[in-house]
């Protein structure tokens, strides 16, 4: 058994399975050759199974390309994502400035940092786009927000996925 904290999601996500985890883990096989997650969202089930080393390999999917790009950047370049997030604060003017950035004009790590920031600081951790595909969730107005959790992001990289 390890003394390190359990693997946990670094994103909030509507429809997350965190509250259902005890029952899901109870029903899941003790060993899984390849874990396939077609709708990763915040990844509560993935991280819980990875923390228990129940699978040898994982394949993560989602219809949301920004989300998959975020997971890929955290897996491949966590230090860069952490560095970018470290300078951002939970302020309304910053939120709307970052929200207005065009993801297609950003590097993969910048896109990942942007998504994490908007997720942490936006209303209820929602991900919503309009008919033109533009992210349009309003500012969340939280008193305390942990935008960057370097340990959680670094440990998320260790959860084996492809």
- CATH number of the domain that 56 lies in? 1.10.1020.10
Mean pLDDT, rounded, for 7-13: 92
**Total number of domains constituting the chain:** 1
Residues 33-82: tens digit of each pLDDT? 999 999 999 999 999 999 999 999 999 999 999 999 999 999 999 999 99
Domain contains 85? yes
Q: Give whole-number Cα distances, 68 to 59, 61, 64, 93, 141, in Å.
A: 11, 7, 7, 27, 27
Domain contains 112? yes
Domain, as residue range, for 105: 18-158
- Element containing residue 75 per DSSP (H, E): helix 65-76
Domain contains 6? no
pLDDT at residue 10, rounded to an integer: 95
Domain contains 2? no
Q: How confident is the model at residue 122 (pLDDT cuts 50, 70, 90)?
A: very high
The number of helix segments (H) and strand segments (E) in the chain equals 7, 2
Report the predicted TM-score, pTM, of the whole model to 2 decimal places: 0.92
Q: How confident is the model at residue 143 (pLDDT cuts 50, 70, 90)?
A: confident
Answer whether residue 160 shows pLDDT above 60.
no
Domain contains 12? no
Domain contains 26? yes
């Amino acid at each position: 058994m390890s003394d390190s904290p359990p693997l946990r999601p670094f994103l909030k996500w509507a429809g997350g399975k965190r509250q259902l985890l005890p029952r899901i883990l109870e029903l899941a096989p003790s060993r899984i050759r390849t874990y396939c997650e077609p709708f990763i969202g915040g990844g509560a089930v993935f991280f819980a199974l990875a923390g228990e080393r129940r699978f040898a390999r994982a394949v993560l999917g989602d219809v949301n390309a920004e989300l998959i790009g975020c997971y890929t950047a955290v897996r491949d370049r966590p230090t860069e994502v952490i560095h970018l997030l470290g300078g951002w604060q939970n302020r309304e003017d910053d939120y709307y400035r970052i929200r207005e950035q065009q993801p297609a004009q950003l590097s993969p790590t910048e896109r990942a940092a942007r998504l994490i920031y908007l997720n942490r600081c936006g209303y209820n951790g929602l991900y919503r786009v309009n008919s033109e595909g533009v992210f349009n969730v309003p500012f969340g107005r939280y008193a305390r927000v942990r935008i960057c959790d370097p340990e959680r992001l670094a440990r998320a990289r260790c959860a084996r996925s492809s």
